[in-house]
Amino acid sequence: MNDIQHTVLFVDDEENILHSLKRLLRREEYRILTATSGVDGFEILKENDVHLVMTDQRMPGMSGTEFLAKVKENYPEVIRIVLSGYTEVDSITESINKGHIYKFMLKPWNDHTLKLEIKQALEQYDLMQVNKTLHEKLIEKNKELKKINENLEVLVKERTMDFEIQNQALELSRAILEDLPIPVMGISSEMIIVLINRKAETLSLNNKHIEIGKKLTDFFSSDVEEKITGVLTADTGNTLVEYRISEATYDLEFIPLSGRFCGKGVVMTLSPS
């Protein structure tokens, strides 16, 4: 049995048929409504949430298929069945082909078969409602996904612009570093040369040009290393004046890195004395 009670509307101009149908389904968990004409049937549909309509075919004023065609137009989700003692095959077949009715059954009916057909029709109704709900949820999720994608596209554009600005700033910083009029070097805490600018590349120490990746002691004396060690330990700058390189003397300034690179290295500048 379903937790949700279904409402079934029977339409037939013969009162005894309606009474028989109500007696047949009295033990089922259905709410049974009846009407003796299509006009009365529409009045009931206006005021009730009906799930299945079963109607006679030959009725005064409006045939069963005509009635169900209008039911489909106004209440498309309602399951529609014709129950008739007349085999008007052409009109009923046309109505089936147009989707006006779900099924056609003949009078007199088999009680067991009729109850089974009604049960299956209402199960079909429930299935359609579940599919409708899932479809609506899918549409809503697609809308949410579309909105997320649109927001993501905006975020990606903003991030891309940020990266472009950062890249431009980095390139500009490198260009400024390269064009500084004095030699500049970056020394790691392991005393490895990790950065040099153009002026530093032109220096010749111990008949060798400075290269990235080489040890500081390959080019400079131990007192330079001692100064850098002291700067890293104290986290404050220091200088070494009149340091001789080839035929010239330089004042060496050591500036410790800050922030997340604190203690990781120093920047060394060489200013002619």
DSSP letters spanning the chain:
--SSPEEEEEE-S-HHHHHHHHHHTTTSSEEEEEESSHHHHHHHHHHS--SEEEE-SS-SSS-HHHHHHHHHHH-TTSEEEEEESS--HHHHHHHHHTTS-SEEEESSPPHHHHHHHHHHHHHHHHHHHHHHHHHHHHHHHHHHHHHHHHHHHHHHHHHHHHHHHHHHHHHHHHHHHHH-SS-EEEEETTSBEEEE-HHHHT-EETTEE--TTSBGGGTS-HHHHHHHHHHHHHTS-EEEEEEEETTEEEEEEEEE--GGGTTSEEEEEEEE-
Q: What is the pLDDT of residue 91?
A: 63
What share of the chain has pLDDT > 70, as a percent? 94
User: Residue 253: which CATH number?
Assistant: 3.30.450.20
Q: Give yes or no: residues 42 and 103 share one domain.
A: yes
Domain count, the chain: 2
Is 101 among the domain residues? yes
Is 74 among the domain residues? yes
* Confidence grade of residue 84 (pLDDT, cut at 50, 70, 90): confident
State the average pLDDT over residues 237-251: 90
Q: Give yes or no: residues 123 and 198 share one domain.
A: no
By residue range, what is the domain housing residue 119?
A: 6-135
Q: Give yes or no: residues 199 and 253 share one domain.
A: yes
User: Residue 67: which CATH number?
Assistant: 3.40.50.2300
Q: Give yes or no: residues 68 and 123 share one domain.
A: yes
Q: What is the pLDDT of residue 89?
A: 65
Q: Give yes or no: residues 58 and 112 share one domain.
A: yes
Q: What is the pLDDT of residue 3?
A: 52
* Averaged confidence pLDDT in the chain: 88
Is 162 among the domain residues? no
Task: Examine the pLDDT at 65 and tell me if it is beyond 80.
Answer: yes
Q: Give yes or no: residues 12 and 107 share one domain.
A: yes
Q: Give yes or no: residues 216 and 123 share one domain.
A: no
State the average pLDDT over residues 182-209: 89
Task: Examine the pLDDT at 28 and tell me if it is beyond 60.
Answer: yes
Least confident of 85-94, 172-181, 204-213, 245-254: 85-94
* Confidence grade of residue 99 (pLDDT, cut at 50, 70, 90): low
Q: Give yes or no: residues 115 and 220 share one domain.
A: no
